[in-house]
Amino acid sequence: MSITDSTNELPLQDETDAFLDRLRELEAFDNSRGGVKGLVDAGVVTIPKIFIRPQDELCQDKLNACLLGDVQVPIVDLGGIEFCVEKRREVVNEIRVASMTWGFFQVVNHGIPVEVMDEMIGGVRMFHEQDLELKREFYSHDHMKTVRYDSSIDLFRSRFAKWRDTLNISLLVPGDFKPDHLPPICRDITMKYMNEATNLGHALFDLLSEALGLDRNQLRSLDCANGRKFVGHYYPACPEPELTLGANKHTDPSFLTILLQDSIGGLQFLHENQWIDVLPLEGSLVVNIGDLLQIVSNDIFRSAEHRVLANHAGPRISVASFFTGIVVPKQVYGPIKELIPAGNGAIYKEFVVSEYIKRFYSRSGDLSGVDSLKLS
């Protein structure tokens, strides 16, 4: 039998052709700079193949279709914690339990005015729905740009493209960001919301420090609240939501994430091997523990996997505020010594945030970011 007669030749060629076809589709989508919204505006009634999840993932979802009944993430009321010692003690305990067992909680009476939150949702929507030529000016995959717009951060590396467009605002490098870098259509409300979210982040780090049994300012003294990134996600209505996702399963490469979401919903987190809906609650914000806080807390707090479903309804809009700690200049973090049990040692190695984030986005498959730093 000749080499060309080999029964393995045709499947191999088919696989190569499929890879090249997918690459061409990805390049065409990327070069359009129109994002997922551009596809919707073009009137697609079926999603392109590059957005379809692999069959093994779709089958696994069917096996895990059962949610845990009416389980909902804890809701923490922050009202009055600055004036009542007993109230603050109760809130600290609620945050401790939620951070240890869920990795997620929602906060109400958090101090950010509802009108600011509503305007921020509107600002993100206006950016994504403005004239395409104005939006294209910000399109880039360069992670060093302080303000950029893209679709799927890992478009050419992931198993499928995500049904989502994103406005990225990076305050990771001191001095790089200036307000006039922001798109004019949402500049004022974005500046206002970022300031409000930053203040809330500082308050939450104080509460988390107390929840860990540390001095109130311990996490802030480590600059965990410095280094911030804000992203405005736009999830258009999807004609075949059962075949794709708005965001695939992941944890956050941050210390803490504060999420503002609209009323449509779609956010889920993994709890006891089941996906739990994080139902929208008017006036609330979702808070989740990031990988870096799991590491410095020496596994006391947990960073939970989460994802976003695609939906027939839309567009769904959310704004995530990531607190990453010091990225530039390099600063070394590691398990806080007061949280390392005597005789047991630290669970994790020390790390530099910039290197952790780089490894996080280059890792393969479903490998955990925190596992890469575990000591044997």
Question: Residue 2: what pLDDT?
Answer: 37
Question: Residue 243: what pLDDT?
Answer: 96
Which contacts (CB < 8 Å, 24+ apart) does range 341-345 have? 345/375
Burial class (CB in 10 A: 0-12, 13-18, 19+), 154: middle
**Residue with structure tokens 């096996």?**
63
- Please report which residue ranges of 241-350 form alpha helices under DSSP H: 291-296
Lowest mean pLDDT among 103-117, 228-242, 297-311, 332-346: 332-346
Retrieve residue 123's tokens: 């600002």
pTM reported for the whole predicted model: 0.92
Whether residue 283 is predicted with pLDDT greater than 90 in this model: the reply is yes
CA distance 165 to 34: 9
Could you report the per-residue pLDDT of 149-158, keeping only the tens digit for each?
A: 999 878 888 8
Retrieve residue 278's tokens: 């994080």
63 to 56, 101, 176, 185, 327: CA distances (angstroms):
11, 24, 47, 44, 40
**Angle 259-265-271 (CA atoms, 0-180°, nearest 5)?**
75
Interstrand relation of 75-77 and 104-108 (parallel, antiparallel or unpaired):
parallel
Lowest mean pLDDT among 76-80, 134-138, 336-340, 365-369: 365-369
CA distance 164 to 160: 12
Rg (Cα) of the chain, in Å, rounded? 22
- 9-373 carries CATH number 2.60.120.330: yes
- Per domain, the residue ranges of the chain are 9-373
Type and span of the H or E element at 169: strand 165-171
Sign (positive/negative) of CA torsion 326, 301, 246, 116? Answer: negative
Could you report the per-residue pLDDT of 20-52, keeping only the tens digit for each?
A: 889 999 999 999 999 999 999 999 999 999 999
Question: Residue 64: what pLDDT?
Answer: 61
| Conformation bin of residue 365: beta by default, left when phi > 0, alpha when psi is -120 to 50 | left
Closest to 150 in 3D by CA, of 318, 242, 32: 32
Question: Residue 4: what pLDDT?
Answer: 39
